[in-house]
Amino acid sequence: MVDATIDAAADAMADAAGDAAIDAMLPVPDGPAACVAGFLDLCSQPPPTSDLVIDDAQTLNTDSDARCRTYPQAGGSAVCLVYASAVTIAASGSLTVTGARPLAIASTSTLTIAGSLDAGSHGSQIGPAVDNAACAFAAAPEPDRGGGGGAAGGTFTLLGGDGGRGDSDDSLGQDGTALPGTHGASTPIPTLLRGGCRGQDGGAEQTGGGAGGRGGHSGGALYLHAAQRIAISGSVLAAGARGEGGETQAGGGGGGSGGLVVIESLAITIMGQLSANGGGGGQGGGRVGQNNITGQPGGDGALGSTPAAGGFGANNNDTLFSRGGAGGAGSTAAAPGTGSILGGGGGGGAAGTIRLIGATTLGGSTISPPPS
């Protein structure tokens, strides 16, 4: 019994000595770990004092929400920063974002999205910081008395689709065909948090006064950051909106490009859906006899990797009516609109940009377009 007690004591002493030796080999921390600036430099931010938990349907306006801190970006728009000790969007929760400023949601520990986060443009919803002022096109669609040119879709880091020609048969014998809108040059992957690019408006029909279809708004600007871990099993959307159909013999509007989503953490796990797809272009307008026909709108960009459809369906006659181009999605480029003897179709909007910064694990996820 005494020997057993002595042996146990000796083992305990050996274990303690071993632990001490291991501890001696490990580096001794010299105060708190130094903050490392990420895509946005949060090192100078005062620490948050509460968690952010969203377990119902909520809307956040980046211009006026009380949860926003104003974070200045050198050379770019000020950001609405929502800073928390931990962030959770529960499976029962949804956050819809609008406003002129980009949105950043950051956590000093973990960020979990099991529900939905929507920073896209679709229907009456307009995402945060859409339609960046730096966006440009090579040429605007021409108005024409026989049929306006179709608009180009928004170009961001990828190219939007060009519009289709209008009045391709020069029915009045005076104007020639109406040239379409054409996309501008793509931009490098942004180093600032900003939204995507709006689609052009279609060319008007000058004789009867038909207005070109309105271009779609772009997807918004969103940054997600957590010091330790981000886990997404729900959905994050920053897609562009559809181009509208042209009125009588006018060109269709271009689809809006997808926006920018940046996700940054030491560890990122994605089992849900991330989408920044482009919107579809609108169909050009037409006329059959004395019947004035407005073209059909394209489809809004949505979750998944299926391209948003271009507008088509007004009379369903390829000889007289154009088609809008499909939006960019997945690895599929935005499509151009088709030409017509009436109004040209609008081009599809380009897919936006998704950046994943940190060690990433993907499991059954859909990310469209593929992350950069």
Name every residue whose Cβ is closer than 8 Å to that of residue 25 and which is 6 or more positions away in sequence: none
Map residue 355 onto helix, strand or coil: strand
Query: Count of CB atoms within 10 A of residue 352's CB?
Result: 34
* DSSP code for 337: P
Residue written as token pair 């499909």: 326
pLDDT confidence of residue 201 = 98
pLDDT surpasses 80 at 370: yes
User: Average pLDDT in the 130-137 region?
Assistant: 96
d(CA 243, CA 260): 20
State residue 20's pLDDT score: 35
pLDDT of 11-55, one tens digit each?
Answer: 443 333 333 332 332 233 333 456 778 999 999 999 999 999 999
Residue 1 reports pLDDT greater than 80: no
Categorise residue 89: left if φ over 0, alpha if ψ from -120 to 50, beta otherwise: beta
- CB atoms closer than 10 angstroms to residue 12: 10
Classify residue 304 by burial, with Cβ atoms within 10 Å: 0-12, 13-18, 19+: middle
pLDDT of residue 37: 84
What is the reported pLDDT for 27?
35
Strand 182-183 relative to strand 286-288: parallel, antiparallel, unpaired? unpaired
pLDDT of residue 175: 61
**DSSP secondary-structure letter at 65?**
-
Q: What is the pLDDT of residues 294-316, one digit of tens each?
A: 999 999 999 999 999 999 986 66
User: What integer is the mean pLDDT of 146-158?
Assistant: 96
Confidence of residue 150 (pLDDT cuts 50, 70, 90): very high
Average pLDDT over residues 137-152: 95
pLDDT at residue 160 greater than cutoff 90: yes
Name the token pair of 51.
Answer: 């968690």
pLDDT of residue 158: 98
- In contact, 291 and 127? CB cutoff 8 Å: no
343, 331 contact by CB (below 8 A): no
Is 185 within a domain? yes
Question: Per the domain annotation, does 200 fall within a domain?
Answer: yes
Residues contacting 42, CB < 8 A, separation 6+: 35, 81, 83, 106, 225
Q: Which domain holds residue 183?
A: 48-372
Residue 230, judged by CB atoms within 10 A of its CB (0-12, 13-18, 19+), counts as: buried
Q: Say what percent of the chain tops pLDDT 90.
A: 80
Stretch 3-13: mean pLDDT, rounded? 40
Kindly provide the residue ranges of all beta strands, DSSP E only, lying in the chain, ordered along the sequence: 52-54, 57-61, 69-71, 79-84, 87-89, 94-98, 103-107, 110-113, 116-118, 137-139, 182-183, 221-232, 235-237, 260-270, 273-275, 286-288, 291-293, 353-362, 366-368
Q: pLDDT tens for residues 200-249? A: 999 999 877 799 999 999 999 999 999 999 999 999 999 999 999 999 99
Give a yes or no: residue 12 inside a domain.
Answer: no
Instruction: Quick: pLDDT tens for 72-95.
Output: 998 899 999 999 999 999 999 999
Structural domain count of the chain: 1
Omega before 369 cis (within 30°)? yes
- Tell me if 103 is assigned to some domain: yes
pLDDT at 138: 97
Specify if 24 maps to a domain. Answer: no
What pLDDT score was predicted for residue 176? Answer: 73
Q: Is 36 contained in some domain?
A: no
Maximal CA-CA distance, the chain: 116
271 pLDDT higher than 60: yes
Question: The tokens of 129 are what?
Answer: 């910081």
Q: What is residue 314's predicted lDDT score, i.e. its pLDDT?
A: 67
Q: What is the mean pLDDT of residues 57-75?
A: 97
Q: Is 43 a member of any domain?
A: no
> 307 - beta bridge partners?
none
The verdict on residue 57 lying in a domain is: yes
